[in-house]
Structure 1
Amino acid sequence: MSGVSSCRRWSVPQLVPSSSLAKLVGARTAAIIDCTRGLDPQTIAVRRWRSRVIAAAGLTTAEAARRRAIGQGNTVAIQSSRPLREIIRDNALTFINLVLFSIGAALLLIGRGGDAAVTAGLVAVNVTVGLVQEVRAKRTLDRIALLTRPRVRALRDGREVELDPSEIVVGDVLLLRPGDQIVVDGRVLDASSLGVDESLLTGESDIIAKKPGDTVHSGSYCVTGIGSYEAERVGAESTAYRLAQGARAFRRVLTPLQRQVNLVIRVLVLLASFLGALLVLGSFLSRAPLAESIRMGAVVAGLVPNGLILMIIVAYAMGAVRIAGQGALVQQANAVESLSNVTVLCLDKTGTLTANRIQLEEVRVVSGEDEWVRARLADFAASASGGTRTSDAIASALGGAARPVRAEAPFTSERKWSGLAFADDPQHWAFVLGAPEVMAQRLGIEPELQSEVERLQGQGRRVLLFAGAIGAADPLPATWTELPAGLRTLAIVAFTDELRPEASEALREFAEAGVAIKIISGDSPETVLALVRQAGLQASGGAVSGLDIAGLDDQALGEIAERHSVFGRITPEQKERLVDSLVRRGHYVAMIGDGVNDVLSLKRAHVGIAMRSGAQATRAVADVVLLNDSFGSLAPAIREGQRIRNGMENILRLFLTRVLAVALLISSVAMVDAGFPLSPKHNSILTFLTVGVPTFALALWARPGVPKTDLVRSMLGFVLPAAFWIAVADLV
């Protein structure tokens, strides 16, 4: 179906008028943009009537069913995890499997059907083990997505109903309030201080004010105000669907171990091909029997360590199972080993170091009557349309009554403040609650007040300033973006957020695993620094503010990211830049995120880690999902990854030693024309006794530890002399 717009030639739907709902969403319907240029007056009148009536009552159930039947329903599901076809493709079409398949085909051609069957069996096992683990992870994520699937409020048959997103059809009138996800593309019919977060689509965290006639895109969120919009582009035509198809791309990124193993396999394939060519040439010149040539070819084909790949895949799968038992779900099998390479872990303090249970601790009135200021602060928190944990904590402690709002500035991570002006206030006060360092630009905080703020922040308190300006411009814009003039501080507001019980132990385990911690938070640098010190983290270089790094080039930002461990008042864009700078400087970076603003940072990191309770978008792009929302389960996962990685190094040393020793033996015997030294049976027995049995012990005995940066180079000192002396011993 081509793009749908309000200009589509629809028949007039069966609608039920509703005067009460008309008052809610129909007051500004006349402002909706309709395509009327070049149309006759009667058509224009019909379309305007249609917009007004739909806005007042919505579609009937019968009309919605008719539209769904003709293909105008939101029937395409957004992927909450990797598609099954891509999981199958990524596990089947690997370089190693293609090599093994080629070897099996070659063995079949020379009449070694049994050996070919064994090789094909290895390919099947490789694919099956990876599929089982990743499909289990997919099903878990799909179940989580189903439990957290957003419901939408719509107008049907003249009343408000809740719908599953799959039940939406073109022309449905959908209602918005703070926290609602926009699930299809549409055009705003009615808006009151409506602000939308489009950061998942644009990467920009600013709240976008919407008015009647504006377009809203699926994948964005309502953060302030109320409104309604008419569904226009649904299913495969929606922005969210296109985003899910392109932004995730679910591409498999090879880990360092996988890249180096692939390099080793390529070298061994070339070595086997070279030896095979020599043997074929020798057999041709010596007129050796065909059976002897086939026997030699089977032994040479065995130089490719197919059992090594099976061991790696099984180790990945077993590691994923063990990690899942500790609360970390691995989406891709190789993420188990990716965790072992992590040298830097970036995270926010909220929900990781702290329990994210904010409580109002103190309201210190510094200007005005104490009771009046507290009442205004309570009303402010109760009336904010975009409820946050901060406003909830204030409302819970102080009470307050929701009052009509004439203007609102919702909190954003970019601004660091929120504002309200009450419609029933004859003095036209404008109240603002925000971060002290941001408010200071307009307030001019006195030294005594600044000292008190710093004292509270030094104790790990989260501190905000409550300020007001009397006689603010009337009317204020429905959503204003600048602090009003004439502000004066009314109160210091302090909050507490308790440390998680496991925070200190987790930080100690990360240090033992060789992982550096970078705390990147939107809170004040002083507050974050105090909390991380309470948790036992030795923060190098002190705390850095987002104001300090604004405008820095990549080189300067990278140096700061390298030296410092605590960053406060950081915007989502700055967070992404910090992660990117650490990646550019050669670190293997993991990033923990939970909100839509973290998606870009998660994708930029080598390992993206999401919380179970986080946004569906973050879970979809993450490599690992923390099912218990505790980053304490991540340290054991990293240690498990290191143990697997170190075990794989030992196994690879053993395989390479065996292969190189056999290659040297074959080459040496060929040079003295002493006959071929091995039969396929002898080679199989030798491989089983010297490699097969020991590898299981090596995998079990492996210990965690920081992996070496260059695996191949680190093994040469062991493999070359060991293979040489083994070959010499065999010759003797």
Structure 2
Amino acid sequence: MTRQTQAGARHGEPDGTACESVVAGSAGSAGSAGSGLTAAEVAERVARGEVNNVPVRSSRSTAEIVRSNVFTRFNAIIAALWAVALFVTPFQDTLFGWVILANAGIGIFQELRAKKTLEGLAVIGESRPTVRRDGRSSLISTHEVVLDDVIELGQGDRIVVDGDVIEADGLEIDESLLTGEADPVLKKPGDKVMSGSFVVAGSGAFTATRVGREAYAAQLAEEASRFTLVHSELRSGISRILKYVTWMMVPTSIALVVLHLFTLRLPVKESVAKMIAGIVPMIPEGLVLLTSVAFAIGVVRLGRKQCLVQELPAIETLARVDVVCLDKTGTLTEGTMSLKELRPLGTARASEIRQVLAALGKTEPRPNPSLQALIAACPDSGAWHCTQSLPFSSARKYSGASLDGPDGTASTWLLGAPDVLLPPTDPAFLDAADLSAQGLRVLLLARTSRHLDDARVTEDLRPAALVVLEQTLRPDAGETLRYFAEQGVAAKVISGDNADSVGAVAAKLGLPGADAPVDARTLPAGTKDMAETLEQRAVFGRVTPQQKRDMVSALQSRGHTVAMTGDGVNDVLALKDADIGVSMGSGSEATRAVAQIVLLNNSFASLPSVVAEGRRVIGNITRVATLFLTKTAYSVLLAILVSLWQIPIPFLPRHLTLLATLTIGIPAFVLALAPNTERAAPHFTQRVLRYALPAGLLAGTATFVTYLLARDHYDGPGAVEAQTSVTTLALFIITMWVLAIVARPYTWWRIGLLVAMAAGFVVVLVVPWLQEYFQLKLVGTVMPWTAVGIAVATAAVIEVTWRWAGRKVQN
């Protein structure tokens, strides 16, 4: 029994006459293989472990999450210092360790929460192959496939295990994701298929010969579907910064140890406290944590909107996109169609045309939306029988069949694009163009005197009818296109449909440039010339799958970050090559497999949410990274200066814990999770260092000057506490100004955050028991006001420097 007749039997349809494929020959099976395994045979293979049990993970394991949040180089340094502090210093000077412990707990909790969300969505979006067991077809999970299972294939299906073809009805397999060869491979019974490839045309079935880790693409598939926190500009930039910090921290830490223990010969407890106070602030301990938390919360937020993020950096990459390429069908329009009009041509009769269309609809076991509309509108009378078929291909733009009519007369029919099958001078061509210009989809039904296997089958056609289909626009598509336009993201509609039809649809949605659609068959082949046209135009029709891929490459050659959306098998190559691939949840298994983001709700309107989430992450992490690295810069500078002057560092750990909490810790956590619609900018590392280094160096210099003046001003009992207090005051004012700059543009809650942090420091200075707890008490008026003056002057210089750096970045 062929694939087609089995599909018919499954839906309660009569088998009819088997329709032979013109491409791959008759579909057949050997012995009982076509009926599949029995339940007992499946159980036997499961018991032997011959199951496709590759652990396809959509997220990091719990152990990896804990390890990445706890066992880091900087956490190890802090833990060692904390252990010493717990035994040597007062409790107030051990607060830094408890803060780090709490931060790590928050990070683990948020990532586990994201893991649960992501894995729940992955179950919804996973591939479900159709297998034959006990003579019946059913959908199962990928990991339930066993050795020797018979797996059915249709257009858009992804091949999940290796196997041997036993049935082929025009079966064409794209193996480009494995071999790099773009041309589909025709498969016949006996040919091998590899996991990771997908069906572009026709149908068939194969027997699983290698499952689990033995399958060709098992390792690739496992790695490609992992939820990862690496390989992004943001993550690599932070790693580079941490490397710089390590280089600076090692020599300055050694200098502090030598200074306090051997040069100044301070008591052990005081030396340890001073050394810890100098070393701990150098470590941007919360930066990696907050990045992980920001990404994890982004996954949870998008998960609530039914967006499956298969690779975490996709959030970041989409935020950097400046060109989004859209397929019309399924993206701008609903996936379904309806028959609007059947326009007979010449002497053709409408009743005969409907019977032929019904027979053509039966030739495809998995009809596309166009054929589904024809099947629904043209009931099958059983008068016409298929003897040979040519499956639809997005490269050919037509399908065909040889039919035996009610009187036994054989005839060959083609159904496809009028502008592909007809010359421009044909009256039907002009009628089709007029209908396409109204945004309708038009197919031509034509009779040919040639055989389907004739390379010139499209010649000598006799047009029989124009089949006019109506597509429903997605109600949210226009608003989404307007969002992209407002955000400076260029939208390019790239479709295999008639250019005028695509242009009309885009015009209804208000897309700029829709009035000048381009027929892709006229596009230049060279990347440079194609890129020039793509820059100037917005709508392209009659685009082949290979052209979609070339167009993505051409846009990338101009420095664009390109996103590609699609749901059909003809979009796979372009989705794979784009910087970010976005698939609809109802799309083919192949598109879902290669896309980084899957819109499970099939709503194009979800894309702005993903863009906004990426911009929130990038913009906010840039802000908080500036805060952390400003602290690192002034801490390193202070350590160097006190070592050169051979004086003790002015702070105890409790002072810097207080400062870090009020000017970095709490504000950074709030800012990292706040809304942010700023467009993502490249060169993360350079941008952060351009702001943080000057601010940190100025803050360190001003703090040290204040400290020197305080040492000269105060003497006698309580002098050290007075010196520390005014120095802490100066550093707090300066770092608060850095926070005030980073928090821009101001909103009510940002202003409230700044006021709350400043009030917190004032409370410490005025409440007696807090003064004693933190050893902070301002003495006199001259030196405190001097510290305020130095801090205000430094803040002004930082403001000027910041504005200058901002102009340099923009230029």
- Where on the TM-score scale, by shorter chain, does this alignment land: which range? 0.7 to 0.9
Cα gap change, 1:450/1:556 in structure 2, threshold over 3 Å: closer, same or farther?
same
Which AA in structure 2 matches 1:77? N
What is the aligned partner in structure 2 of residue 271 from structure 1? 248
Are residues 1:126 and 2:107 paired?
Answer: yes
Q: Does 1:150 align with 2:129?
A: yes
2-side partners of 1:336 and 1:682: how far apart? 38
Distance 2:673 2:152 in 1: 57
Q: Is the 8 A contact 2:495 2:502 kept in 1?
A: yes
Confirm whether residue 488 of structure 1 aligns to residue 468 of structure 2. Answer: no
The equivalent position to 2:414 in structure 1, one of 416, 429, 432, is 432
State the match for 1:389 in structure 2: 369
Does the aligned pair in 2 maintain the 1:373–1:491 contact within 8 Å?
no
Q: CA deviation at 1:351?
A: 1.5
Residue of 645, 652, 659 corresponding to 1:686:
659
Amino acid in the other structure paired with 2:238: V
1:630 Cα shift? 0.3
> Post-superposition shift, 1:505?
0.8
Match of 2:554 among 565, 581, 600: 581
Q: CA deviation at 1:458?
A: 1.7
Change (3 A) 1:61 1:544: same
List aligned pairs for 1:31-50, cutoff 5 A. Answer: none
Query: Aligned-pair distance for 1:544?
Result: 3.4
Asked if 1:519 is matched to 2:493, the reply is: yes
Q: Quote the offset at 1:185 in angstroms.
A: 4.0
> Which runs of structure 2 are paired with 1:15-30 in the superposition (5 Å)?
none
Residues 77 and 598 of structure 1, relative CA distance in 2, 3 Å threshold:
farther
> 1:716/1:213 Cα in 2 relative to 1: closer, same or farther (>3 Å)?
closer
Say which of 192, 203, 209 aligns to 1:215: 192
1:499 Cα deviation after fit: 1.1
Query: Relative to structure 2, which stretch is displaced further, 113-122 or 603-612?
Result: 113-122
Offset, 1:417: 0.7
Alignment gaps of 5+ in structure 1: 1-20, 26-30, 33-50
2:118 alignment partner, one of 137, 146, 165:
137
Deviations 1:171-204 (A, max 9, x none): 556666778776554444455x442444565676
Worse-matched range after superposition: 497-506 or 659-668:
659-668
- What does residue range 220-619 of structure 1 map to in structure 2 within 5 Å? 229-239=206-216, 241=218, 244-245=221-222, 252-283=229-260, 286=263, 288-289=265-266, 290-298=268-276, 299-371=278-350, 374-375=353-354, 377-386=356-365, 387-401=367-381, 403-424=384-405, 426-440=408-422, 444-446=423-425, 448-470=427-449, 472-473=450-451, 477=453, 483-539=457-513, 542-549=516-523, 552-619=525-592
Identical aligned residues as a percent? 34
Equivalent pairs, count: 669
Letter in 2 for 1:453: A
Match of 1:625 in 2: 598
Change (3 A) 1:204 1:291: same
AA aligned opposite 2:328: K
The structure whose Rg is larger is 2
> For the structure 1 residues 90 and 167, does the alpha-carbon distance in structure 2 shift closer, same or farther, using more than 3 Å as the test?
closer
Spell out the pairing of 1:194-205 with structure 2 (5 A cutoff).
Answer: 194-199=170-175
Mapped contact 2:353–2:464 kept (Cα < 8 A): no
Bigger drift between 424-433 and 165-174 goes to 165-174
Letter of the 1:244 counterpart: A
Asked if the contact 1:418–1:432 (Cα under 8 Å) also holds between the matched residues in 2, the reply is yes
- Give, in angstroms, the shift of residue 343 of structure 1: 1.8
Q: CA RMSD in A?
A: 3.8
Deviations for 1:522-575, whole angstroms, at most 9, x for unmatched residues? 21222212211210111379433332347x233333333333322222233322
Which range moves more in the overlay, 59-68 or 426-435? 59-68
Contact 1:343 1:588 in 2 (8 A): yes
Structure 2 CA distance for partners of 1:681 and 1:410, relative to 1, 3 Å: same
What TM-score comes out, normalization by structure 2 length?
0.73
Distance 1:566 1:293, change over 3 A: farther
User: 1:152-171 to 2 correspondence within 5 Å?
Assistant: 152-154=131-133, 156=134, 159-160=135-136, 162=138, 164=140, 170-171=147-148
**In structure 2, what is the Cα distance between the partners aligned to 1:344 and 1:630?**
19
Instruction: Say whether the 8 Å CA contact 1:79–1:244 is kept in structure 2.
Output: no
TM-score by length of 1: 0.80
Cα distance in 2 between the residues matched to 1:119 and 1:76: 42
Instruction: Give the drift of 1:684.
Output: 0.8
Q: Deviations over 1:621-640 (max 9, x none)?
A: 44332231101021133123
Go from structure 1 to structure 2 and tell me whether the alpha carbon gap of 1:175 and 1:401 turns closer, same or farther (over 3 Å shift): farther
The equivalent residue for 2:648 is 675
Match of 2:782 in 1: none
What is the identity, as a one-letter code, of the residue corresponding to 2:434? R
Residues 91/415 of structure 1: CA separation in 2 closer, same or farther (3 Å cut): farther
Residue segments in structure 2 that go unaligned for 5+ positions in a row: 1-14, 20-24, 88-93, 707-811
| Per-residue CA distance 1:316-359 (angstroms, 9 max, x = gap) | 33333333333323345544433322222222121221112212
Q: Does 2:627 align with 1:647?
A: no
Q: Distance in 2 between matches of 1:430 and 1:205?
A: 30
Q: Pick which of 265-274 and 181-190 moved more.
A: 181-190
Helix, strand or coil for the counterpart of 2:387?
A: strand
Distance 2:486 2:287 in 1: 29
1:487 maps to a residue whose letter is L
For 1:312 and 1:548, how far apart are their aligned partners in 2?
47
1:77 matched residue in structure 2:
53
Q: Which residue of 2 aligns with 1:98?
A: 72
Alpha-carbon distance between aligned partners in 1 of 2:149 and 2:694, rounded to the nearest angstrom: 74
Q: Indicate the SS of the match to 1:429.
A: strand
Alpha-carbon distance, 1:685 to partner:
1.1
Shift of the alpha carbon at 1:504? 1.0
Work out whether residues 468 and 490 of structure 1, in 8 Å CA contact, stay in contact via their aligned partners in 2.
Answer: yes
- Give SS of 2:72's match: helix
- 8 A Cα contact 2:212 2:218, kept in partner: yes
1:58–1:534: structure 2 CA closer, same or farther, 3 Å change rule? closer
